Amino acid sequence: MTDADSEATRRIRGLADPLRRAIYAFLSRQRHAVTRDEAASALDIPHHQAKFHLDRLEQDGLVTVDYARPPGRTGPGAGRPAKRYRPAESEIAVSVPPRGYDVAGDLLARAITRSAADGIPVAEAVVDVARARGRAIAAARGAEPPVSASAAREAAEDILRGEGYEPERDGPTTVLRNCPFHRLAQDHRDLVCGMNCALIDGVGDALAPHSPAVALEPEDGRCCVTLREGA
């Protein structure tokens, strides 16, 4: 694993923590930088707990910080400036490399932001943003509507091969020998495998009306997703 992959893995593991995810979602809803006191009050948690999780988000590169005194407090008696946090801006990668931890981080962060904005469960938002990413991947590779189910399966394999999944046929089933999110899936199987399945579903959406049938079939040594010819 590269240093970049290790850093991305740490970011995702941070967001997989429910309380840290809730704090990040709160930050995403705010139009201004947030202090530790504000986060503690909003989440109804002790100040030291807010400080710990906010600082972890900073360490993982998910938030940026600055320092400012409260409005109206200036001069020698104003006290120390308060540390403030806001979500970090990051570039968006369209493709999934053989180990796609940066993409996983982007998808999860976007899902949390959408969950906070639209009031939907994070798991539902993860599926939505991952499926949209899959459609974008297929479009970026110039996918066109196939003429048959077998052609759609072959097209999906070509797209996923280009994204590092290493598809291999096993009779009527296409298995994926490489999981781009392998290390994350080991620790957070339900969340990460659901995201991965939705992304591949999105690739299939771009191959309608003969989209391959995508299924979650976890097995050691390969990706949890399989494909078969659709209708």
State the average pLDDT over residues 97-120. Answer: 83
DSSP structure string for 158-189: HHHHHTT--EEEETTEEEES--TTHHHHHH-H
Looking at per-residue pLDDT, the higher value among 128 and 61 belongs to 128
Sole residue written with tokens 């807010």 = 50
Q: Which domains does the chain have, with CATH numbers?
A: 3-89 (1.10.10.10), 123-228 (no CATH)
- Range in 11-25, 113-127, 162-176 the model is least confident about: 11-25
- pTM beyond 0.75: no
> Could you give the CA distance from residue 29 to residue 46 in angstroms, rounded to a whole number?
21
Cβ–Cβ under 8 Å, residues 177 and 222: yes
Distance of alpha carbon 218 from alpha carbon 179, whole angstroms: 11
Q: How far apart are CA 84 and CA 65, in angstroms?
A: 5
Give the pLDDT confidence score for residue 141 in this predicted structure.
87
DSSP character for 65? Answer: E
Distances from the Cα of 167 to the Cα of 85, 152, 155, 211, 228, angstroms? 42, 14, 11, 16, 12
CB-facing half-sphere around the CA of 158: CA atoms within 13 A:
15
- pLDDT of res. 97: 40
Query: For residue range 159-209, what is the model confidence (pLDDT) as tens digits?
Result: 999 888 889 998 999 999 888 888 788 888 898 999 999 999 999 999 999
Q: How many Cβ atoms from other residues are within 10 Å of residue 103's Cβ?
A: 24
